[in-house]
Structure 1
Amino acid sequence: MELIAALQPLVVGAVLLWSARVKLFSRHAAAAANRSALVRLLGQRRALPAYRVLGVIELTLGALLLLPPALRLEAVAATGLAVGFLAYLTYARRAAPTSSCGCLSARSAPVSGRSLARAALLVVAGGLAVISPGGWPAALSAQPLAGTAVLLGELAAMVALSPELDAAWLLPLRRLRARLTHPLRGGSGVPLLATVQQLQLSNAYRRVAPLLSSDVREHWDDGDWRFVGHAARYQGRPVTAVFAVPLADREPDAVRVAVVDDATGQTLLSLAGTAPPAGPRLAVAPA
């Protein structure tokens, strides 16, 4: 724990410097500021100046955190700034849900749960830096391998919790997966498009269609069935609508669907076709 706490100034400092780079040196900074919740909070004229001032604060504090000696006052200031980020993102998500974060990239990305989790992680990192008994140079030189692993793990977590950075790593991974797995054709040889057409003609699909909030997110084959997942919302909570489509029976009435709570895994709703085929049964639980 002492090693992790001692390395937090490096993590927080690196994130602040990256964020300052976007606000101060990106040619798209003005557009990013205009897409942010600063417009609603401060007005159109003050949004860009406030965005730039925040960049100067991040640049200064980030440089102080990275340069020894490690001062407790720097960690306290960084923690306070992270708390401010968390409060701002909470406000932005409620008051301006279509606004962009504008935090680590000029690319437009709405404030999401991942953005809030990243800000909360910064608050925790800053708090650990405050209670750290020593500086990061001594800690890193004493345990270089463990220290490097901690830094890489935390920075990877920051990137993973940043929707605005998805284009740099998540989209290439998805494209690679598509090239390797050929998602338009399942392991059974039945094209996914044929499965989707069958389920969209089914009564089960028509009954849950108003709940759906995405196209096909995932699919897999299990025996004589293909399961197709869509993101959805049911009774105000995020869920996954899982359609079970028989591979051998092309009749739409054979399609089944289960609505599963993303948080608990509980099946909230289950609808079977008018003529249930043989195969695994989807669990039914009261809504």
Structure 2
Amino acid sequence: MGTLAAAQPLLIGLLLLWSSYGKFADPKQAERTALPRLVGETRAITAYRGVAGIEALVALGLLLPPVWTVEALAAVALAAGFTGFLIYSKIVVPEASCGCMKASARPVGARAIARALLLLATAVMAATATTGWWSAGAGVLVLVVEAAAFAMLSAELDRYWLLPLRRFRIGLSHPYAGTASDDTPLAATQRRVLLSPAYRAVDGLLRSDIHDYWDDEDWRFVSYAARYDGRRATAVFAVPHRDSTPESIRVAVVDEEGLTLYRPTVLAAVG
């Protein structure tokens, strides 16, 4: 157990560096999170960059000798803060994205909260370490399994492993042959999308029929190939299972990196 605890700062440090880099690279992600509601629109980007700076400092402290306990405690505080913020986002601003590690158009869901809880658990374990990660020996090998768990809980990485798997599954049978977890046929979802103001708002950008779909808690997400300003893009429609009104459907056009290029705001007035 001692070597496992000692190895945790390595994983946490790398995750925090990734998270910090994503925030510094695209600080405008803050506008898609719950930060504007929490700290005000004028201070959201500043607060976002501040969190990125703290993440970077804690990460470097965890990765570099000689001290690790203080940084592990700081990581515990950060992870607890992340968890609280995501729960706040889901309750108060349910349409807000995570903004955790890399741009994503998806609202905060159970996976993002579970990832924050996993980070909190690893940080608590790291705080019990009595040696640095460079002395963990075989304990470092366990980090491969933990890293895989973080990847599976990261919507930002879905395009690298989950979407190819789904496309492979769709390629084996016609997309309309399956149904999703709530037993709603995909054809019914498509009908709702076609009748929505969201679809009319981006109709001229679409370049395909339904390209992919997936369920995430109370939402079904449907994607279409699109072009925006001459660039390849993807239009992602968020269709709530429990609200059948056309105006409840939302859409975002994102690029190949998951960055939002266009998101119509007043959909009820479109068309």
Specify the TM-score bucket, using the shorter chain as the normaliser: 0.5 to 0.7
The TM-score normalised by the length of structure 1 is: 0.61
Contact 1:108–1:164 (CA<8 Å) still a contact in 2? no
Assess, with a 3 A threshold, how the Cα gap between structure 1 residues 8 and 213 changes in structure 2: closer, same or farther. farther
Q: Which residue of 2 aligns with 1:98?
A: 95
Q: Which residue of 1 aligns with 2:27?
A: 29
Contact 1:215–1:231 (CA<8 Å) still a contact in 2? no
RMSD (Å) for aligned C-alpha atoms: 2.6
Q: Which residue of 2 aligns with 1:74?
A: 71
Residue type at the aligned position of 2:27 = A
Contact 2:109–2:216 (CA<8 Å) still a contact in 1? no
Percent identical residues: 40
Q: Do residues 46 (structure 1) and 17 (structure 2) align?
A: no
Assess, with a 3 A threshold, how the Cα gap between structure 1 residues 48 and 183 changes in structure 2: closer, same or farther. same
Assess, with a 3 A threshold, how the Cα gap between structure 1 residues 232 and 58 changes in structure 2: closer, same or farther. closer
Between the aligned partners of 1:137 and 1:131, the Cα distance in structure 2 is 15
Q: Do residues 162 (structure 1) and 154 (structure 2) align?
A: yes
Per the TM alignment, residue 18 of structure 1 is displaced from its structure 2 partner at its CA by 0.3
Q: Which residue of 2 aligns with 1:147?
A: 140
Contact 2:9–2:68 (CA<8 Å) still a contact in 1? no
2:164 to 144, 169, 172: 172
- How many residues of Structure 1 are paired with residues of Structure 2 in the alignment? 191
Per the TM alignment, residue 173 of structure 1 is displaced from its structure 2 partner at its CA by 2.1
Between the aligned partners of 1:99 and 1:15, the Cα distance in structure 2 is 22
Q: Which residue of 1 aligns with 2:133?
A: 136
Per the TM alignment, residue 167 of structure 1 is displaced from its structure 2 partner at its CA by 1.7
Cα deviation per residue 1:194-244 (whole Å; 9 max; x = unaligned)? x67xx9xxxxxxxxxxx766738xxxxxxxxxxxxx9699xxx99xxxxxx
Assess, with a 3 A threshold, how the Cα gap between structure 1 residues 85 and 134 changes in structure 2: closer, same or farther. same
Q: Which residue of 2 aligns with 1:9?
A: 9
Higher relative contact order (CA 8 A, sep 6+): 2
Radius of gyration: which is bigger?
Answer: 1
Per the TM alignment, residue 163 of structure 1 is displaced from its structure 2 partner at its CA by 1.6
Instruction: Say which is worse superposed, 101-110 or 117-126, in terms of deviation.
Output: 101-110
Q: Secondary structure at the match of 1:131?
A: coil
Assess, with a 3 A threshold, how the Cα gap between structure 1 residues 214 and 2 changes in structure 2: closer, same or farther. farther
1:215 to 179, 182, 186: 186
Assess, with a 3 A threshold, how the Cα gap between structure 1 residues 232 and 53 changes in structure 2: closer, same or farther. closer
Between the aligned partners of 1:130 and 1:35, the Cα distance in structure 2 is 33
Residue type at the aligned position of 1:79 = V
Q: Secondary structure at the match of 2:186?
A: strand
Q: Do residues 125 (structure 1) and 122 (structure 2) align?
A: yes
Residue type at the aligned position of 2:133 = W
Between the aligned partners of 1:19 and 1:71, the Cα distance in structure 2 is 19
Residue type at the aligned position of 1:173 = L
Between the aligned partners of 1:232 and 1:121, the Cα distance in structure 2 is 19
Q: Which residue of 1 aligns with 2:233?
A: none
Q: Flag structure 2 segments of 5+ consecutive residues without an equivalent.
A: 188-213, 220-271
Assess, with a 3 A threshold, how the Cα gap between structure 1 residues 215 and 232 changes in structure 2: closer, same or farther. farther
Assess, with a 3 A threshold, how the Cα gap between structure 1 residues 2 and 43 changes in structure 2: closer, same or farther. same
Cα deviation per residue 1:12-46 (whole Å; 9 max; x = unaligned)? 1111000000111x2x331x110000011111111
Per the TM alignment, residue 134 of structure 1 is displaced from its structure 2 partner at its CA by 1.4
Between the aligned partners of 2:216 and 2:13, the Cα distance in structure 1 is 38
Per the TM alignment, residue 175 of structure 1 is displaced from its structure 2 partner at its CA by 2.0
Residue type at the aligned position of 1:165 = L
Instruction: Say which is worse superposed, 165-174 or 90-99, in terms of deviation.
Output: 165-174
